[in-house]
């Protein structure tokens, strides 16, 4: 069962709609759908919300540290609530997928994603779930950091929002722990 969903992103208005903030954007939609509000929890270096999905209560976390220090916030929440990595779902941008592709996995390395690298370091484990939201890759010769910290085109954003809709349709199953069923459906496309 998933007890904590973490969205990765960078705080601040200048990063709000960037590709790198896909995790924040996804959680903002969940909070909006539920009608609840974010609460600033300085002891956790993050914004927290608690929602119910299909009768199950789940915490949502947006670290207010910058992306590269996301694990600091995730680690504090995990220790305080005595969560094991398998109870955590991290939602993040994925360069290796086209915009609009969304896949679920458990375990694995960080693939150069500094937010994941820091979470792995602070949890001391790779055994958490990841919902990977495709943002595409920059064209040849473009700097990856500039690409992820820029806003997607209108078409790319629409594709990403469609991926959010698809992922939200499986949220109840993910929170209930039916991960293999969701993986089969999301990852086969």
Give me the domains of the chain, ranges plus CATH numbers. Answer: 4-187 (3.40.50.1470)
pLDDT in tens, 120-178: 999 999 999 999 999 998 888 889 899 999 999 999 999 999 999 999 999 999 999 99
Please state whether the predicted TM-score (pTM) of the whole model is above 0.85.
yes
98 vs 111, residue with greater confidence: 98
Average pLDDT over residues 36-45: 96
pLDDT in tens, 53-68: 988 999 999 999 999 9
Predicted confidence at residue 175, as pLDDT, reads 95
Q: Please say if 20 is a catalytic residue.
A: yes
Q: Considering the candidates 20, 92, 113, 122, report the single residue annotated as catalytic.
A: 20
Strand order across the 129-134 sheet: 39-41, 46-53, 56-63, 4-7, 88-94, 129-134, 102-106
| Six token digits for residue 125 | 């484990």
Residue entry with tokens 């540290």 = 65
Check whether 189 has a pLDDT greater than 80: no
Average pLDDT over residues 75-87: 97
Residue entry with tokens 């484990």 = 125
Q: Are 157 and 97 in contact (CB under 8 A)?
A: no
Consecutive H or E run containing 179: helix 179-187
């Amino acid at each position: 069962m998933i007890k904590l969903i973490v969205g990765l992103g960078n705080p601040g208005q200048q990063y709000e709609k960037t590709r790198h903030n896909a995790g924040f954007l996804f959680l903002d939609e969940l909070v909006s759908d539920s009608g609840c509000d974010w609460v600033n929890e300085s002891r956790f270096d993050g914004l927290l919300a608690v929602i119910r999905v299909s009768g199950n209560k789940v915490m949502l976390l947006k670290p207010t540290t910058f992306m590269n220090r996301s694990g600091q916030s995730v680690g504090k929440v995990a220790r305080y609530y005595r969560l094991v990595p398998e109870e955590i779902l991290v939602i993040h941008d994925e360069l290796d997928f086209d915009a609009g592709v969304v896949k679920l996995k458990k375990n694995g390395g960080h693939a150069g994603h500094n937010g994941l690298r820091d979470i792995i370091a602070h949890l001391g484990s790779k055994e958490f779930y990841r919902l990977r939201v495709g943002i595409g890759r920059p064209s040849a010769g473009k700097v990856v950091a500039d690409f992820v910290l820029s806003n997607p085109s209108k078409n790319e954003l629409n594709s990403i929002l469609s991926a959010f809709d698809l992922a939200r349709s499986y949220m109840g199953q993910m929170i209930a722990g039916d991960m293999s069923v969701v993986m089969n459906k999301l990852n086969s496309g």
